[in-house]
Amino acid sequence: MAIREILTVADHQSVLKQKSAPVARVDDALRALMDDMLETMYDAPGIGLAAIQIGVPQRVIVMDLAREGEDPQPRHFVNPEILEASEELFEYEEGCLSVPDIYDAVERPARVRIRYMNYHGETVEEWAEGLYAVCIQHEMDHLEGVLFIDHLSRLKRMRAVAKVKKAVRAA
Nearer to Ni ion, 96 or 164 (CB): 96
Tell me 71's DSSP state. P
96 counts as binding Ni ion under rule CB under 5 A: yes
167: three-class secondary structure by DSSP: helix
* 139 counts as catalytic: yes
Residue nearest to Ni ion (CB): 96
C-beta of 16: minimal distance to Ni ion in Å? 9
Residue 7 contacts by C-beta under 8 Å, 6 or more apart in sequence? 15, 16, 52, 53, 54, 55, 98
12: three-class secondary structure by DSSP: coil
- Count of residues interacting with Ni ion (CB under 5 A): 1
Burial 77-115 (b: 16+ CB within 10 A, else e): bbbbebeebeeeebebebbbbbbbebebebebbbbbebe
Nearer to Ni ion, 96 or 152 (CB): 96
Catalytic residue among 68, 91, 139, 144: 139
Nearer to Ni ion, 96 or 136 (CB): 96
C-beta of 146: minimal distance to Ni ion in Å? 10
Residue from 45, 66, 48, 67 nearest 141 by CA: 48
C-beta of 20: minimal distance to Ni ion in Å? 13
C-beta of 27: minimal distance to Ni ion in Å? 26
Contact stretch for Ni ion (CB under 5 A) within 5-13, 35-43, 90-98, 154-162: 90-98
Q: Is 1 exposed, middle or buried (0-12, 13-18, 19+ CB in 10 A)?
A: exposed
Contact stretch for Ni ion (CB under 5 A) within 88-96, 101-109, 116-124, 155-163: 88-96
Nearer to Ni ion, 69 or 93 (CB): 93
**Which residues form the interface with Ni ion (CB under 5 A)?**
96
Instruction: Give catalytic residue positions.
Output: 139
